[in-house]
Amino acid sequence: MGAQLRVYKRRIRSVTATKKITKAMEMIAASRVVKAQRKVAASTPYARELTRAVTAVGTGSNTKHPLTTQAETVTRSAVLLLTSDRGLAGAFNSNAIKKAEQLTERLEREGQEVVTYIVGRRGVAHYNFRERTVAESWTGFTDEPTYADAKKVAAPLIEAIEKETAEGGVDELHIVFTEFVSMMTQTALDDRLLPLSLEEVAKEAAPKGEILPLYDFEPSAEDVLDALLPRYVESRIYNALLQSAASKHAATRRAMKSATDNAGELIETLSRLANAARQAEITQEISEIVGGASALADATAGSDR
């Protein structure tokens, strides 16, 4: 019984130490998700208005541009997958990777060649382990992305969309990221960044009664679109990076809270088992003392006779 009691006490100490770690990680994630949520709220209006500006230019001119013009035959598409550098976030990374794989399968069924770009060590490790080709990857900034990081990610994608497919370029640009809906809900999404769907933007604006303004373009609509292309891609990628970061922190907070609660329940269970083992040990000791005293009394009574 003594050995079993020592085992229970050792496990209680181990689980208690783990509980302290998960509780600290929960608190850190909770503080970070608030900051990330504020950045998402600050960047979203800019990305939305920039999209509206591009839409206004596209609908107000007949200029063919990779930003707004759909290729007659789409032969190659780029997919940008946003994951995190760290784990301990529940199904956050697996959901994003699954969404990217579903998008890739759909594009390949349509006869397109898919070029994959990845942000985050988890996504890179997943594709490397399965020996899948990755055009380019970025790591080290997923917890707190900056606009400079978004520009670094956007640069090769803009270069690819501006090239002809015969020269290694792409016809479409898709992005897979996790949208931050609330502290309890984060949803993996796939969205087509380029070419911009003018009809979808118009439908989104119609129910709100919004009317896109009319512009005169100087020197030309094509020059305006050339200037807006990198800004549009960078702002959308930056917003997606912030959404992904906020979602990751929220998922980590939820996972660590669950781990802390489970550790507390396990400590209670082990404490009950330890108390039962200790009580059994005490009962055994009392039984041995009573038995020894009874035997001693019997021996004393026999000697008296």
Question: Tell me, what's the pLDDT at 205?
Answer: 47
- SS3 at position 136: strand
CA count, 13 A, side-chain hemisphere, 247 = 25
pLDDT of residue 122: 93
Residue ranges, CATH 1.10.287, the chain: 2-22+258-291
| Alpha-carbon gap, residue 256 to 89, rounded angstroms | 8
Comparing CA positions, the residue from 127, 121, 111 lying closest to residue 142 is 121
List per-residue pLDDT tens for the chain, 305 residues long.
567 878 888 888 998 999 999 899 889 888 888 888 888 888 888 888 777 777 777 666 666 666 666 777 888 899 999 999 988 888 899 999 999 999 999 999 988 899 999 999 999 999 999 999 899 999 999 989 999 999 999 999 988 888 887 788 888 899 999 998 888 888 999 988 888 765 555 555 444 555 656 666 677 777 777 777 788 888 889 999 999 999 999 999 988 988 899 999 999 998 888 888 888 777 877 877 777 777 777 666 666 55
pLDDT at 139: 93
Cis peptide bond upstream of 219, omega within 30: yes
Which residue from 251, 29, 32, 244 is spatially nearest to 119, judged by alpha carbons? Answer: 244
Please give the sequence-ordered ranges of beta strands (E in DSSP) within 120-260, or none if there are none.
Answer: 136-138, 172-180, 186-194
Count Cβ atoms below 10 Å from residue 60 Cβ, excluding itself.
Answer: 16
Q: Which CATH number fits domain 2-22+258-291: 2.40.50, 2.60.40, 1.10.287, 3.30.160?
A: 1.10.287
Structure tokens at 263: 């550790």
pLDDT at 304: 58
Assigned CATH topology for domain 30-257: Pyruvate Kinase; Chain: A, domain 1 (3.40.1380)
Which pLDDT score is estimated for 78? 92
